[in-house]
C-alpha cells in the first residue's frame, strides 16, 4: 500500500473480498474469491464483477497481484490489523477535526460507559503526563 497512513475506505463488496483474502493462508485467484463469496451469500456475484473489484483493490494499494499464465494470484498488500488501525485513525481524525472537543468528550464518555477500567487507566495516564 503506497500511503499506509491513509488507507482507502472500502465499499461493502470490497470489504467482503478483502476479508476473504485476509482469511486465506495462500495467495488467491479471482475464481477462489467468487466461489467463497457465492457459497456464503444469497446474492450470487459474477466472475467479471469480482475481477473488477479485485483490480480496483489492487489500484487502491490493498492487493498485490502476481501474473500467472492461466490466472493471476492476489495477496494482501496490507495486513487486516494495520488496515483497521490506520482506517480508524483517519475516521477519528476526521471527527475530531470537524467536531473538536465535542468528539473528544463523546469518545471519553463512550469509553467510560463501555469499559470503566479502561477509562480509569486513561485517566491515570493523563494525570501522569500532566505532572
DSSP state of 9: P
33, 58: one domain: yes
Distance (Å, whole) CA 9 – CA 39:
25
Cα dist from 90 to 4, 18, 61, 105, 130, whole Å: 11, 19, 16, 18, 26
Side-chain half-sphere CA neighbours of 54 within 13 A: 28
Q: Domain check: are 19 and 71 in the same one? A: yes
Domain count, the chain: 2
What is the CB neighbour count within 10 angstroms for residue 83?
A: 20
- Domain span at residue 105 reads 81-130
Shared domain for 65 and 120, answered yes or no, is no
Residues 51 and 19 in one domain: yes
Residues 73 and 102 in one domain: no
Q: Confirm whether 4 is domain-assigned.
A: no
Q: Is residue 131 predicted with pLDDT exceeding 50?
A: yes
What's the pLDDT score for residue 107? Answer: 85
Q: Are residues 49 and 98 in the same domain?
A: no
Give Cβ neighbours of residue 96 (< 8 Å, ≥ 6 apart). 103, 104
User: 35 vs 5, which has greater pLDDT?
Assistant: 35
The domain that contains 56 carries what CATH number?
A: 1.10.10.10
Query: Based on the domain organization, do 17 and 28 belong to the same domain?
Result: yes
On whether both 64 and 18 belong to a single domain, the answer is yes
Note whether 101 and 126 are same-domain residues: yes
Count CB atoms within 10 A of the CB of residue 85. Answer: 13
Q: Which residues pair with 63 in a beta bridge?
A: 76
* Entry pTM: 0.79
Q: What is the pLDDT of residues 24-66, one digit of tens each?
A: 999 999 999 999 999 999 999 999 999 999 999 999 999 999 9
Amino acid at each position: 500500500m503506497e500511503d499506509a497512513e491513509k488507507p482507502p475506505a472500502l465499499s461493502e463488496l470490497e470489504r467482503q473480498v478483502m476479508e476473504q483474502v485476509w482469511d486465506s493462508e495462500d495467495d488467491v485467484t479471482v475464481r477462489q474469491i467468487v466461489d467463497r463469496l457465492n457459497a456464503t451469500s444469497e446474492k450470487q456475484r459474477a466472475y467479471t464483477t469480482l475481477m473488477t473489484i479485485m483490480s480496483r483493490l489492487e489500484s487502491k494499494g490493498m492487493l498485490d497481484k502476481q501474473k500467472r499464465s492461466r490466472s493471476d494470484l492476489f495477496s494482501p498488500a496490507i495486513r487486516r490489523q494495520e488496515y483497521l488501525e490506520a482506517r480508524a485513525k483517519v475516521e477519528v481524525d476526521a471527527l475530531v477535526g470537524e467536531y473538536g472537543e465535542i468528539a473528544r468528550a463523546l469518545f471519553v464518555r463512550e469509553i467510560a460507559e463501555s469499559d470503566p477500567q479502561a477509562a480509569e487507566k486513561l485517566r491515570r495516564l493523563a494525570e501522569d503526563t500532566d505532572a
